[in-house]
């Protein structure tokens, strides 16, 4: 029975510059003991950082970057989603996605530097229930948020859904439906879901929800456009926020630059610009940041 097993310390040696041997051992171990991760959940580490989103803003690239850092042992997969739509799975299910505490200790001793784990779930940012859940479960966790021009993000979101065959409507029709929903429900903090092309770009409402539950110093916001223009500089700031040593980065992985937006009709663009400007007004001041696509003038003095 699972309760009668005693978890053994993970004594795998650390192999500098690569994880192929530990991964192989992990596969063999889980083939012999299929429920190993779940049965040892209480011996596993809690995440030190979460990437909240935004969706289609370059979070996959940031996730790959952090996964190449030798002080980071990431979760078993991207988009664990526990604090959103997988909350019913329970805390042990969530913990099963992270490395054993003994593994982090062994890696830390090998590197003579503290090692951490974390995860990336893009929908946490716009899922209103995620903020209080994360605050209760992980009161000290650090939060990374990448924000992209919300119009470009909406277009990329639609392009992605179209490419995987789950969206057949044209973009402007999707925008019209989303705007009608926002106006009908009289809410700027609606969970957008998989088809929330406009709603998922309401960063102001989303971040105000997070700031109501989480101290500002635990949130690091990155402008996606700046990240892809100068990834080394922006990534260095992220490492500082996470207290990670830049010298322990194995290598900077390749990435695909953000795709440019499609041409939009003037009317649709004006509607979106007005909506996003109203939503984002003042949030830059609250966060102490400036993004190039915002029309917020509240900081001007």
- Structure confidence at residue 253 (pLDDT): 64
pLDDT for 7: 40
Report the pLDDT value the prediction gives residue 37, as an integer from 0 to 100. 85
Q: What is the mean pLDDT of each run of 10 residues along the chain (301 residues)?
A: 42 41 65 78 96 93 93 94 95 95 96 97 93 97 96 92 91 89 68 87 93 95 92 93 92 65 78 90 85 59 30
pTM of the predicted protein model: 0.84
Q: DSSP assignment, residue 75?
A: -
Which pLDDT score is estimated for 300?
33
Task: Give phi and psi for 28, each to the nearest 5.
Answer: -65, -45
At 258, is the secondary structure helix, strand, or coil?
coil
- Give the domain 19-287 fold: Rossmann fold (3.40.50)
């Amino acid at each position: 029975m699972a309760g009668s097993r005693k978890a053994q310390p993970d004594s795998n040696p650390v192999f500098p510059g690569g994880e192929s041997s530990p991964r192989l051992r992990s596969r063999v171990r889980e083939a012999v003991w299929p429920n190993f991760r779940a049965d040892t959940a209480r011996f596993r580490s809690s995440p030190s950082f979460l990437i909240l989103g935004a969706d289609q803003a370059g979070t996959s690239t940031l996730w790959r970057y952090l996964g190449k850092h030798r002080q980071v042992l990431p979760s078993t997969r991207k988009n664990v989603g526990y604090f959103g739509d997988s909350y019913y799975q329970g805390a042990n299910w969530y913990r099963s996605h992270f490395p054993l505490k003994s593994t982090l200790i062994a890696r830390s001793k090998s590197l003579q530097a503290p090692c951490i784990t974390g995860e990336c779930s893009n929908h946490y940012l716009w899922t209103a229930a995620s903020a209080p859940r994360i605050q209760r479960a992980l009161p000290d966790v650090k939060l990374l948020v990448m924000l992209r021009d919300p119009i470009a993000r909406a277009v990329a979101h639609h392009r992605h859904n179209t490419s995987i065959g789950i969206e057949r409507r044209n973009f402007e029709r999707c925008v019209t439906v989303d705007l009608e929903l926002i106006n009908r429900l009289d809410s700027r903090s609606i969970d957008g879901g998989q088809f929330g092309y406009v709603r998922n770009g309401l960063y102001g409402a989303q971040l105000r929800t997070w700031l109501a539950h989480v101290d500002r110093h635990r949130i690091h916001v990155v402008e996606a456009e700046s990240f892809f223009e100068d990834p080394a500089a922006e990534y260095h700031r992220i490492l500082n926020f996470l207290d990670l040593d830049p010298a322990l980065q194995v290598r900077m992985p390749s990435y695909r630059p953000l795709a440019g937006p499609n041409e939009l009709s003037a009317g649709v663009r004006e509607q979106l610009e007005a909506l996003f400007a109203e939503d984002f007004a003042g949030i830059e001041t609250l966060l102490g940041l400036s993004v190039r696509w915002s029309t917020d003038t509240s900081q001007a003095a």
